[in-house]
Structure 1
Amino acid sequence: MARSNSKDRLRRMDMLAVQLKQDGLCTVSDLARQHDVSERTIARDLLLMREQGLPIDSDRGRGGGVRLDRNWGVGRLNLSYAEAVDLLISIEVSEQMRSPMFLASLGSVRRQLVASFSPDKRNKVTRMKSRILIGDTASTYVQSGVAAPPKPVVQALHQAFMDQEMLAIGYRREDGVTSERQIEPHYLLLKYPVWYVVAFDHLREATRVFRCDRILSARRTGTQFRLLPRDAFASSLDGNDLLV
Structure 2
Amino acid sequence: MARANAYDRLKRLESLAVQLKQDTHCTAKDLAALHGVSLRTITRDLALMREQGMQIDADRGRGGGVRLDRNWGVGRLNLSYAEAVDLLISIAVAERMNSPMFLANLGAVQRQLVASFSPEKRARVNRLKSRILIGVTASPFVQASAETLPKRVVQTLHQAFVERERLDIRYRREDGAVSTRVIEPHYLLLKYPIWYIVAMDRLRAGPRTFRCDRVLRATREGTQFQVLPKDHFAPSLTEDDLSPVA
TM-score bin (small chain): 0.7 to 0.9
**Counterpart position of 1:173:** 173
**Counterpart position of 2:63:** none
Rate the CA distance shift 1:43–1:184 in 2: closer, same or farther, 3 A: farther
- The C-alpha deviation readout for 1:33-52, integer Å capped at 9, x for no partner, is xxxxxxxxx958xx797563
What number of residue pairs does the alignment pair up?
A: 208
- The C-alpha deviation readout for 1:89-111, integer Å capped at 9, x for no partner, is 00100010012222222221111
* TM-score, length basis structure 1: 0.74
Rate the CA distance shift 1:241–1:223 in 2: closer, same or farther, 3 A: closer
Distance in 2 (alpha carbons) for counterparts of 1:241 and 1:82: 26
Distance in 1 (alpha carbons) for counterparts of 2:88 and 2:176: 36
1:1-244 aligned at under 5 Å gives the runs 13=14, 17=18, 43=35, 52=49, 71-74=70-73, 75-238=75-238, 241-243=241-243
Rate the CA distance shift 1:215–1:240 in 2: closer, same or farther, 3 A: farther
Distance in 2 (alpha carbons) for counterparts of 1:98 and 1:49: 47
How far does residue 217 in structure 1 lie from its aligned partner after superposition?
A: 0.8
How far does residue 234 in structure 1 lie from its aligned partner after superposition?
A: 0.3
Please give the root-mean-square deviation of Cα atoms over the aligned residues, in Å: 3.1
* TM-score, length basis structure 2: 0.74
- The C-alpha deviation readout for 1:205-230, integer Å capped at 9, x for no partner, is 11011000110111111100010000
Name stretches of at least 5 consecutive residues in structure 2 with no aligned partner: 24-33, 37-41, 58-66
Contact 2:134-2:241 within 8 A present in 1 as well: no
Name stretches of at least 5 consecutive residues in structure 1 with no aligned partner: 26-41, 57-67
Rate the CA distance shift 1:180–1:124 in 2: closer, same or farther, 3 A: same
Give the SS at the match of 2:83: helix
Give the SS at the match of 1:125: helix
Amino acid at match of 1:230: K
Distance in 2 (alpha carbons) for counterparts of 1:237 and 1:212: 16
The runs of 4+ residues in structure 1 deviating greater than 6 Å are: none
Rate the CA distance shift 1:240–1:49 in 2: closer, same or farther, 3 A: farther
Q: Name the % identity.
A: 57
Contact 1:136-1:242 within 8 A present in 2 as well: no
